[in-house]
């Protein structure tokens, strides 16, 4: 069964929910981290500076549920858990990673625009 006309602009379309999940800071950084090789929970925590254990755990769970990431517990001691990207996740990773690249590439222009905007707002407030 196929969804008839997926359209993110329609509020009732499930696409809206998926867009909300993948258009997410942490999801972008996690998918980027897993792009080349599987990484363990605490490995991701070290790669993605400032992510809390809660958000990492929560975001990984959503990504796993959506079929974008797979979780594999390895019975070592202590147990290690390896997260890797699925084939479906791989179809998304290039797109979300280009979002990160855009941010890194255009950060200077954005910061400049913010300064100009804030200067204008100050004039109005004065």
Partner DNA sequence: ACTAGTTAGTAGCAAATAGTTACCATGTTA
Partner DNA sequence: TAACATGGTAACTATTTGCTACTAACTAGT
**Which residues contribute to the site for its own copies (CB under 8 A)?**
2-3, 6-16, 18-20, 22-25, 27-29, 32-33, 47-50, 64-68, 88, 91-92, 95-96, 98-100, 102-114, 116-118
Between 26 and 92, CB nearer to DNA = 26
The site partner of 75 among DNA, its own copies, none (C-beta below 5 to 8 Å per kind) is none
Give the CA-trace dihedral at 21, 26, 27, 30, to 10 degrees: -170
Q: Which of 2, 4, 12, 78 binds DNA (CB under 7 A)?
A: 78
Q: Does 13 bind DNA (CB under 7 A)?
A: no
Contact with DNA (CB under 7 A): which of 55, 70, 99, 100?
55
Q: What's the chain look like in SS3?
A: CCCCCCCCCCCCCCHHHHHHHHCCHHHHHHHHHCCCCCEEHHHHHHHCCCCCHHHHHHHHHHHHHCCCEEEEEECCCCCEEEEEECHHHHHHHHHHHHHHHHHHHHHHHHHHHHHHHHHHHHHHHC
Q: In whole angstroms, how close is the CB of 117 to its own copies at the nearest point?
A: 4
Q: Which positions lie near DNA, rule CB under 7 A?
A: 24-26, 40-43, 50, 52-55, 57-58, 60, 71, 77-81
């Amino acid at each position: 069964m196929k969804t008839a006309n997926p359209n993110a602009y329609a509020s009732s379309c499930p696409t809206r929910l998926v867009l909300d999940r993948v258009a997410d800071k942490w999801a972008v950084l996690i998918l980027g981290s897993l792009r080349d090789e599987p990484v363990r929970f605490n490995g991701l925590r070290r790669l993605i500076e400032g992510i809390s254990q809660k958000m990492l755990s929560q975001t990984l769970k959503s990504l796993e549920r959506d079929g974008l990431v797979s979780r594999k517990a390895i019975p070592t001691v202590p147990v290690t858990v390896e997260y890797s990207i699925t084939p479906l996740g791989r179809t998304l990773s290039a797109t979300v990673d280009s979002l990160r690249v855009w941010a890194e590439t255009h950060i200077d222009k954005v910061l400049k625009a913010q300064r100009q905007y804030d200067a204008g707002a100050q004039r109005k407030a004065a």
